[in-house]
Amino acid sequence: MTTFVEIDHVDRIFNLPDGGKYIALKNIEFKVRQGEFISLIGHSGCGKSTLLNIIAGLDRASVGGVTLEGREVKEPGPDRMVVFQNYSLLPWLTVRENIALAVDEVHKKQPKGERRGIVEEHIEMVGLRRAANKRPGELSGGMKQRVAIARALATRPKLLLLDEPFGALDALTRGNLQEQLMKICNENEITSVMVTHDVDEALLLSDRIIMLTNGPEAHIGQILEVPIPRPRQRLEVVNHPSYYDLRNEIIYFLNQQKQAKKRQLQLTAPTFISAKSLGLEKTHLELGYVPLTDAAPLIVAQEKGFFSQYGLEVNLNWESSWKEIAQGVASGRLDAAQMVAGMPLAMTLGAGGKTPEPMVTALTLSRNGSAITFSQELFNMEVRNLTDFQALIKADLDKTHTLGIVHPASMHNLLLRYWLAAGGIHPDVDVSLMMIPPPQMISSLTAARIDGYCVGEPWNSRAVQQELGFVIATTSEIWAEHPEKVLGVREHWAQKYPQTHLALVKALLAACEYCDDYRNREEILQLISGSDYLGCEPKYLRPGFIDPYQRGDGTKPQLLRKHHQFYVNKTNYPDRNEMLWILTQLARWGLVSFPKNWVEVIDRVCRPDVFGAAARDLGYLDISKDAPIQLFDGKKFNPSEPIEYLKSLEIKRQLRVEEVFI
């Protein structure tokens, strides 16, 4: 289906009597395909009806605009009809006359007999034949709403807009009308956009559900596809395998917005909790981070006062590599640090022959945010995808291509290896992997020491903008919403300073939520790009963080809402199954032995109990994603049989399974 309606980066700003401004909507952008049914859902005050009025032409966007079939919407028109909650019928006219009034106005050039036929057809369509000569005062609420729907449809609009059309009706009447509307829209391929508060109504009627965050500056928080085939029957929808997962996803989002509103009200008069009242064992902390875009939660926690709010005095230490991070935490120079996702496990198990250092992670700081970048030379050699790269390797067996990775236990290494192996390329035989600190990736690519790399931003965007390379794959395309960075502390430290650990998790969790509010992204960009932190030109940080993501391969830049994911969709929960998948990959490539007592190992490293205590104190939900792990090749991970999963992988090193004593 082609794009029918385009809402193009719409802002709606209202002038206030005191001279100030109220930003109701911020950067609303989505497309509607012909024949598609879209629902807008969110709490009161999020701008749903304002957006609907802009689409209808009853209001104008302050920034951006709306196009219908390529033509800009500037005013109301007969190609768009609105069904309001309050019916808007003329009380002195009958059902037939109310419908005829709209038909005669819109289709005035058609013969009177044809107009009469249209009126009668739509009276029949909504089942009001016996009430055709009654006035609104003689009708029930459900019958009035059917008249309003018939009147809108009788004008033969290209786009039907519904503003909570069934909100005032009893449950039985509402259900009957929903099914009638669904049948009419399906049979006539009507394109519709509906505002609703009703989760079940949205799931019944919609192809996609657009969830808006709280106002002011409400924006799209999430877009949910409803993969339930049409035509639909209510019972079939409720019994569909995806129904309750979809319903829970919407309710989770709405609950998070409700909690966010409560917290925002509390923050209007922030209360800074003293270390003494929290019972903190230690207040001054040394935290390490590597200067990457996804260090944002640590920088925001420092600059926006989240650390101090929870009684902590933090010194952020800029580290040039993940190796320095690991050494700093292991030696005690750093109390805690931003870590690549596999580092707590790798340090606990003594990966690479090192002395085991038991570690704990109670917080996932970010998901996604990395990419595989190949050199411009490979692009010029017609490499565009994994298949092309495999063909290039086979064509010249004397040439060994070198790819940069940042740390053996990083998702960059594990996902790059998985991606290569899925394409029939053995990462330890067919290519060479070289460990390089993130800030040195660009210089290594420029000097032709490497042919590409897998790293976090801004080093992919920088290569693209400097025309040094192109993004052949984002890591989220390999595993959508994979864990990227985590908070890591030594187990001994966590046991010695439990209240300090809890306060640290709280502060960073609050900062993660702040980072995933797109209204804050411009401010955050200025904070992290400064010389005290990343020391990077903002233009290299914008793609994927605020602006559409550029791949440098000639394709159109895409707005990737979750390229940097810090909080939404249960980002922060330290998931044991995800940690177990990471463990299988560390064992797959010989970095560690797979422990027979893997349950014990995972339980020691991964601490959802600490996360849960912090989340509940903040009023956040403390539940996991509870979604199966499946990567781009379609292979599913069964956490109940990790060794069988490892054995099923064709390309791997010799597998070692043994009891691990920590």
DSSP 218: B
In which residue ranges of the chain is pLDDT below 70? 1, 85-87, 167-174, 262-278
Domains 275-367+482-574+609-621 and 370-478 share a fold: yes
Q: What is the pLDDT of residue 612?
A: 93
Cα gap 23→35, rounded to integer Å: 31
Fold of 275-367+482-574+609-621: D-Maltodextrin-Binding Protein; domain 2 (3.40.190)
Q: What is the pLDDT of residue 269?
A: 43
SS3 content of the chain, % helix, strand, coil (to 5): 40, 20, 35
- 580 φ, ψ (degrees, to nearest 5): -65, -40
- In angstroms, the Cα distances linking 172 to 7, 124, 175 are 34, 21, 5
Specify the pTM: 0.69
Task: Please report where in the chains the tokens 């032995």 appear, as a residue.
Answer: 593
Task: Please report where in the chains the tokens 């055709």 appear, as a residue.
Answer: 132
Q: What is the CATH code of the structural domain delimited by 370-478?
A: 3.40.190.10
Q: What is the pLDDT of residue 264?
A: 65
Alpha helices in 21-137 (DSSP H): 48-56, 95-106, 112-125
Cα gap 537→578, rounded to integer Å: 34
**How many degrees, rounded to 5, is the angle at CA 583 between CA 581 and CA 586?**
115
Q: What is the pLDDT of residue 274?
A: 57
Write out the two tokens for 316: 């952020």
What DSSP line would sit under 255-303, residue for residue? HHHHHHHHHHHHHTS--PPPHHHHT-S--EEEEEE-SSGGGHHHHHHHH
Write out the two tokens for 20: 């100030």
Q: What is the pLDDT of residue 136?
A: 81
Cα gap 512→298, rounded to integer Å: 9
**Packing angle, helices 296-303 and 498-515, rounded to 10:** 100
pLDDT digits (tens, 9 = 90+) for 234-252: 888 888 888 888 888 888 8
pLDDT digits (tens, 9 = 90+) for 502-556: 999 999 999 999 999 888 999 999 999 998 899 999 999 999 999 999 999 999 9
Task: Give the contacts of 632 (CB within 8 A, at least 6 positions apart).
Answer: 419, 422, 477, 478, 479
Residue type, 35: G
3-state secondary structure of 566: coil
- In angstroms, the Cα distances linking 455 to 122, 272, 300, 475 are 59, 37, 22, 9
Cα gap 386→394, rounded to integer Å: 12
Cα gap 254→261, rounded to integer Å: 11
Task: Give the contacts of 576 (CB within 8 A, at least 6 positions apart).
Answer: 602, 603, 606, 608, 639
Residue type, 323: K
Q: What are the residue boundaries of the structural domains of the chain, listed by start?
A: 1-73+200-269, 275-367+482-574+609-621, 370-478
Residues 81, 157 contacting (CB under 8 angstroms): yes
Question: What CATH superfamily is the domain 1-73+200-269?
Answer: P-loop containing nucleotide triphosphate hydrolases (3.40.50.300)
